[in-house]
A = this chain, B = another copy of it.
């Protein structure tokens, strides 16, 4: 039984989803753990994670646009506006998706389904540097 932790970071281009499945796969492989779980965690409150279809990018476009509609910028009653009109919607879109994803590992590999990829979901308009922490536990 063992625990293996790692971090990595990436730069986003502003709002949108960025696939990080490959980085997580590499950490799982390096851990040597054959059975257990991998936890992926984003260390921010204006970006989040989502496991989403990785085949047709149009599905991610619609997902991103849906969140723009659901939590509009310039909602008149927002009071937390000092950091710009895209800040408060970012926090809410984060709360509606996920800060961590936990994926079982069997026979040394994540059990992702055929169409599942792990994505960082950047909610701010400007490019940001984002840090991801990963913990693999098992045996």
Contacts and interface: CB of A to CB of B under 8 A. Distances in A.
Interface of A: 1-5, 7, 33, 35-37, 39, 41, 43-45, 50-53, 56, 58-59, 61-63, 65-66, 70-71, 75, 77-80, 82, 88, 91-92, 95-106, 111-113, 115-116, 131, 133-135, 137-139
Given A5-B104, A59-B88, A137-B138, A45 B80 contact: no
Contact of A5 (B35, B58, B95): B35
Contact of A3 (B36, B43, B79, B116): B36
Contact of A106 (B78, B101, B133): B133
B62 A111 contact: no
A66, A79, A97, most chain B CB atoms within 10 A: A66
A101 B61 CA distance: 26
A39 B116 contact: no
Task: State the number of copies, please.
Answer: 3
User: Taking chain A's interface residues, is the majority helix, strand, or loop, or is none over half, making it mixed?
Assistant: mixed
A43 B116 contact: yes
Given A51-B45, A62-B79, A104 B139 contact: no
28 contacts: A1-B1, A3-B33, A3-B36, A3-B139, A7-B111, A41-B111, A43-B112, A43-B113, A43-B116, A44-B113, A45-B59, A45-B115, A51-B99, A52-B95, A56-B82, A58-B79, A62-B88, A62-B91, A63-B95, A65-B77, A66-B75, A66-B92, A96-B96, A96-B97, A98-B98, A98-B99, A111-B133, A137-B137
